[in-house]
Amino acid sequence: MSQTKAAAKPLTKNVHRRRFIQVATSLPLVAGSNSFVRKSHSQTITSPKSAEVTKQRPDLSIIDYGQSFISGKWSENRVRFWIESRARIIDERNGRYEDFYQCASCKSERTFAEKDLFVEDNFDFIPLFGPEDGVKFRRKAYLNQNYRDSRKADDMWKGQVYRLRQPRACYPLSANASIRKATHEGLPIVAQTEISNKQTGLRAIIEFPIKTMNIHDTRDLYQVDTGPVPFPDLGKRYPKFVDCISLAFVAFNAPHFADFVIEDVTPILQDGREITQVRHYSRILSLSAQNRL
């Protein structure tokens, strides 16, 4: 990024509590001072015993998505995943919250084989890691029964090491003109979409880098289109937070709502007759939200 951006306001808790999302600049990251490693992500969960947690909204400082990873601990495959998005799910009734990290998609493979590395009956593979529980999403061309494989996080590659980086500086995009300007300058933009359900007492902050941005200069408009991201169903209280998460794409062009298209079982029709079912991003949902860039 141009050195003229060096004056951008640093990320602070006071800034974060104002109603906007920070945008990461391209200022160079200095190894050590802007990175941190979590060998046990469960350490970041705030215990319900902490009285102050029930009175405060837990802040979520953005990470640098270009340089943040999760690695496994298993010596036979210390796999490293690129973090693509995360969701913080918060129980407003007791202040408990958990962070879930969705990692980049890959394909089913025979790891370290001498040849024929891709599995013939291939499937898309997306892992999601939480402090206690995780999910492996396996999507085949047909409706496979083991699509969602939930398990303890420690059982996924023997546990995780979180290698997270934060941007040295970032600033809010509080107007359409600033959003358009940052887009045209090629700056990395990070969004947070906050949703809630008063009946269940649940709230979630979905954070993601903007992969696709639409800009209408003459009308001063923008539209975000990004995914996949973790989408939490806040309409009911599940036994575990991880059970409420699906994969979705998100779109918005204003600060007060967000549209989601969620991966779900989808019928395939031919001449008005259902011939099969697959998993596809097909279930569309529009929600009131607070979007920050």
Q: What pLDDT is recorded for position 58?
A: 52
Q: Look at residues 95, 99, 98 and name the one whose alpha carbon lies nearest to residue 86.
A: 99
Q: What pLDDT is recorded for position 63?
A: 94
**Number of compact structural domains in the chain:** 1
Domain span at residue 181 reads 3-292
For the ranges 57-66, 84-93, 231-240, 243-252, which has the lowest average pLDDT? Answer: 57-66
- Please provide the DSSP assignment of 151-218 as one string: EEGGGSTTSEEEEEE--S-EEE--SHHHHHHHHHTT---EEEEEEEETTTTEEEEEEEE-SEEEEETT
Burial class from Cβ neighbours inside 10 Å (0-12, 13-18, 19+) for residue 274 reads exposed
Residue type, 229: V
Percentage of the chain beyond pLDDT 90 is 78
**Which contiguous run of DSSP H or E holds residue 17?**
helix 13-17
3-state SS class at 14: helix
275 pLDDT higher than 70: yes
Cis peptide before 28 (omega within 30 of 0): no
Q: What pLDDT is recorded for position 60?
A: 83
Q: What pLDDT is recorded for position 70?
A: 98
For the ranges 26-40, 41-55, 183-197, 200-214, which has the lowest average pLDDT? Answer: 41-55
18 pLDDT higher than 50: no
Q: Across all residues in the chain, what is the average pLDDT?
A: 85
Average pLDDT of the segment spanning 175-192: 97
51 pLDDT higher than 50: no
**Which contiguous run of DSSP H or E holds residue 27?**
none
Q: Specify the residue for token string 């649940």.
A: 202
Can you read off the two tokens belonging to residue 258?
Answer: 């967000």
CA-CA distances (angstroms) from residue 278 to 11, 138, 147, 149, 233? 43, 12, 11, 17, 21
Q: What are phi and psi of 55, to 5 degrees?
A: -105, -15
For the ranges 46-50, 123-127, 136-140, 232-236, which has the lowest average pLDDT? Answer: 46-50
Q: What pLDDT is recorded for position 33?
A: 32
Write out pLDDT tens, residues 190-208: 999 999 999 999 999 999 9
Average pLDDT of the segment spanning 222-230: 98
CA-CA distances (angstroms) from residue 263 to 68, 140, 292? 25, 13, 24
218 pLDDT higher than 80: yes
Question: How many Cβ atoms are within 10 Å of 200's Cβ, its own excluded?
Answer: 17
Do residues 80 and 164 make contact, with C-beta atoms less than 8 angstroms apart?
no
Average pLDDT of the segment spanning 71-78: 97
6 pLDDT higher than 60: no
Write out pLDDT tens, residues 98-157: 999 999 999 999 999 999 999 999 999 999 999 999 999 999 999 998 999 999 999 999
273 pLDDT higher than 70: yes
Q: What pLDDT is recorded for position 21?
A: 38
Q: What pLDDT is recorded for position 37?
A: 52
47 pLDDT higher than 60: no
26 pLDDT higher than 90: no
Average pLDDT of the segment spanning 210-232: 98
